[in-house]
């Protein structure tokens, strides 16, 4: 599975939201698995969109055909855009599906990992972080993906920001030490995204 993460700095919020609803046109595209997104909780002018595709072949086919017509509707509504593609590696909690309807917030964590620490980082995600997140009340499901250049994405879906806050408060520092995160990670960026139901496809 291919995970696409789009981050936009928005200048015309109403126009952007109107355009975002047009992406319902993705339904029926071969290999399309689902899309959702919303606004950053920390920066009100930043929007995040997450799209899921069966594989790179279906995605490339869509990009070559229908993408530009759908994207044209949002032209001029944002001043900056970053797009990254990640290959699925494993679930965070079991049974990941690209569904957004039961989630309230998504936490996105983007790591650039030191070259000699990649396998250790992935192992710690599986053995330390995943069980901790999976055991947290309100954590629904998540996905761990990898991109060339030792880049990794962890997406986790939560029933509410209050539930996510409970997980964060007690355990992040302790888990970081156990996983030796500082030794593994060269750069770490993250955000909490308030999902907009009307953007879900």
b/e sequence 3-40, b meaning 16+ C-beta within 10 Å:
bbbbbbebeeeebbbebbeebeebeebebbbbbbbbbb
In this structure, are residues 50 and 96 in contact, taking their beta carbons and an 8 Å threshold? no
pLDDT band at 169 (very low <50, low <70, confident <90, very high): low
46-75 tens-digit pLDDT: 999 999 999 999 999 999 999 999 999 999
Q: Is the pLDDT of residue 163 over 80?
A: no
> For the domain bounded by 2-196, which CATH number is listed?
3.30.70.100
pLDDT band with cut points at 50, 70 and 90 for residue 165: confident
CA 180/CA 120 separation, integer angstroms: 9
Domain boundaries, the chain: 2-196
Q: The pTM is what?
A: 0.94
Residue 168 has what pLDDT? 65
Beta bridge partners of 86: 3
* Tens-place pLDDT, residues 89-134: 999 998 899 999 999 999 999 999 999 999 999 999 999 999 998 8
- pLDDT tens per residue across span 4-25: 999 999 999 999 999 999 999 9
């Amino acid at each position: 599975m291919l995970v696409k993460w789009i981050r936009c700095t928005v200048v015309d919020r109403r126009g952007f939201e109107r355009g975002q609803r047009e992406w319902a046109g993705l339904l029926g595209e071969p290999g399309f698995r689902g899309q959702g997104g919303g606004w950053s909780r920390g920066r009100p002018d930043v929007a995040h969109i997450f799209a899921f595709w069966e594989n790179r072949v279906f995605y490339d086919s869509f990009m070559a055909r229908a993408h530009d017509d759908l994207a044209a509707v949002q032209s001029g509504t944002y001043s900056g855009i970053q797009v990254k593609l990640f290959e699925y590696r494993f679930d965070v909690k079991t049974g990941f599906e690209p569904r957004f309807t039961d989630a309230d917030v998504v936490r996105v964590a983007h790591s650039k990992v030191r070259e000699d620490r990649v396998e250790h980082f992935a192992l710690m995600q599986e053995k330390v972080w995943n069980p901790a997140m999976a055991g947290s009340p309100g954590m629904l499901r998540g996905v761990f993906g990898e991109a060339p250049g030792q880049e990794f994405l962890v997406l986790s879906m939560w029933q509410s920001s209050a539930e996510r806050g409970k997980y964060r408060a007690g355990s992040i520092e302790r888990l970081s030490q156990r996983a030796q995160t500082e030794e593994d990670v060269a750069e770490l960026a993250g955000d909490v995204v308030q999902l907009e139901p009307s953007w879900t496809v």
